[in-house]
Structure 1
Amino acid sequence: MPPRKKQKTASTSTSSTVSAPANFPNASVLLRGLSNYSLAISLRSKEHIKKPEELITLDEWLTNTESGLLSKIMSSQEVTAADMTSLMKWKLLRGKSRPTLLALIASNQETLVVKSTTTALKKVCDAGGDLDGALLGLPEACALKGVGAATASALLTLQPPHLLPFMSDEAASFFESSIGKIKYTDAFYKKFAAAMIAGVRRLNVDSEEEARWDSMKLERALFAIAILKKHGQERVLDSDSDPDAALPSASQSLKRRREAD
């Protein structure tokens, strides 16, 4: 694989005064989407006939604050080659399948993985709430074979305060009217990140402190809304719906499968 060309980081405005894209979900729908994220993961997992439980397991590992990847990042532990391979599996199962990327990311040397991810996460951490500063972590993560803007963002979104969003196709689709169709480039990611952060700031204008939004939560809410609509489960997004009457959550589905084995 030829060396990846580094792209310049442009200064980006993320003012909360930026208007929401056309047909963007309101705060109430986004909250219901976020609360039904596990249902969306369960629905998405069923699209994988061979190992439907793998996505559920990896998704739980990703954000587990005691033993998952998020826990390691929060406690400043090293991200290993095995972690990056698992992260790639999660990304491909949750989105588009591109098996060749697994072989590429698995070919990275352990020392390079640790160095690149540590540097990338530190730049994001040091940036705090500054988007331009956080974006400096993108090329560091992309130094690894098989890692582009989308995969890098899957890692960097885990770094508190979760400023950078994961660039999923589902989340990006809500911004087509303002930034165009998704492109897997650094330049597009910067526009997507700015749009997401502007959305977070709009949501937080009227949010209580304990219910503050961040880019990670917003991406998960948008992903859930897109998947629920795809599978004809829009009813759980309605204000009059009973979320407990919906399909079983991801963890419930996994438990039932294990009991049946």
Structure 2
Amino acid sequence: MPPRKKQKTASESSDSAQDTPKDFPDAALLTSGLKQYPDAISLRSREHTKAPDELISLDKWILDDLTTKITSSQPVNKADMTSLMKWKLSRGKSRPTLLALIASNPEALVLRSTTDALKTVRGAKDDLDRALLALTNACQMKGVGAATASALLTLQSPHLLPFMSDEAASFFASTLGQIKYTDAFYKKFAAAMVAEVRRLNASSESDAELWDSMKLERALFTISILKKHGQEHILGSDTNAPSVGTSGSLKRRRDS
């Protein structure tokens, strides 16, 4: 009986013949998108009439305070997870029931789950498959699925684990299919993002321009939001530069 064919790990898949999605943004557009991330957050925040400035404040808190807390191995508590959930829901789809579920978790469970998850990611270093094991730890909390877990884990390992926003995941529709909020889909999404990061860095001219999964997610988010608000022109003034198409793909602008 012939031996079974060895299954590829997520890390091996990201290095192998994983195709770049159809009409994926090129490096120039992604670079412009990353620079315009604050504008995208500002535009998204205006959609929330009750608390239009909350997303901007939460985004700054995550990038500064929570990131510092996590990278210095300080415990992440229920108040932190509640704020992280508010950020996720303000930046994406509003699902108020998730806030109630997060609040229902005992403090001890939150501390144990976040500590174990972040410890797993730290120990994984550059091993994507080992890092993905942290999903099990993080998802022990009520209200936390793969997407919310990724919002936490990317702060510990921005080079490896991306936040799974709808905006970023939508760019992989041609290769990953419809977005699913499952561990299995997130693992494929993370591997696809890592593959794109490596392609971008392979053609980078300097270390200062190196990409990671967090930067790529922000760039994709920005491109999607600017298109939604009809502001994609701020990504570049070159009439031959690519712009976001009506379905989230890219197309060349016509000379006017």
Which bin holds the TM-score, normalised by the shorter protein? 0.7 to 0.9
Query: Matched residues in 2 for 1:150 and 1:71: separation?
Result: 21
2:209 maps to which residue?
A: 211
1:70 aligns with 2:67: yes
1:51 maps to which residue?
A: 51
Gaps of 5+ in 1: 1-9, 242-261
Structure 1, 111-120 or 170-179: larger mean CA deviation: 111-120
2:33 maps to which residue?
A: 33
TM-score calculated relative to the size of structure 1:
0.85
Query: Matched residues in 2 for 1:35 and 1:17: separation?
Result: 30
1:116 maps to which residue?
A: 113
1:16 positional shift: 6.4
CA RMSD, Structure 1 to Structure 2 (Å) = 1.3
1:128 positional shift: 1.1
Please tell me whether the aligned partners of residues 21 and 174 of structure 2 are also in contact (alpha carbons under 8 angstroms): yes
Change (3 A) 1:224 1:36: same
1:236 positional shift: 1.3
Q: Tell me how many residue pairs correspond in the alignment.
A: 229
Query: Matched residues in 2 for 1:161 and 1:73: separation?
Result: 12
Ranges of 4+ aligned residues in structure 1 off by more than 3 Å: none
1:164 maps to which residue?
A: 161
2:194 to 197, 210, 214: 197
Please tell me whether the aligned partners of residues 19 and 175 of structure 2 are also in contact (alpha carbons under 8 angstroms): no
1:183 maps to which residue?
A: 180
Gaps of 5+ in 2: 1-7, 240-256
1:133 to 130, 147, 156: 130
1:6 maps to which residue?
A: none
1:151 aligns with 2:141: no
TM-score calculated relative to the size of structure 2:
0.87
2:80 maps to which residue?
A: 83
Structure 1, 210-219 or 32-41: larger mean CA deviation: 210-219
Query: Matched residues in 2 for 1:20 and 1:128: separation?
Result: 25
1:99 maps to which residue?
A: 96
What letter corresponds to residue 112 of structure 2 in structure 1? K
Query: Matched residues in 1 for 2:235 and 2:145: separation?
Result: 33
DSSP 3-state at the match of 1:96 = coil
Q: How big is each residue's C-alpha offset from its partner over 1:159-188, in whole Å with a ceiling of 9 and x where there is no partner? A: 035310100000000000000010000111
2:232 maps to which residue?
A: 234
Please tell me whether the aligned partners of residues 45 and 56 of structure 1 are also in contact (alpha carbons under 8 angstroms): yes
Query: Matched residues in 2 for 1:28 and 1:239: separation?
Result: 12
Change (3 A) 1:124 1:239: farther
Structure 1, 123-132 or 21-30: larger mean CA deviation: 123-132
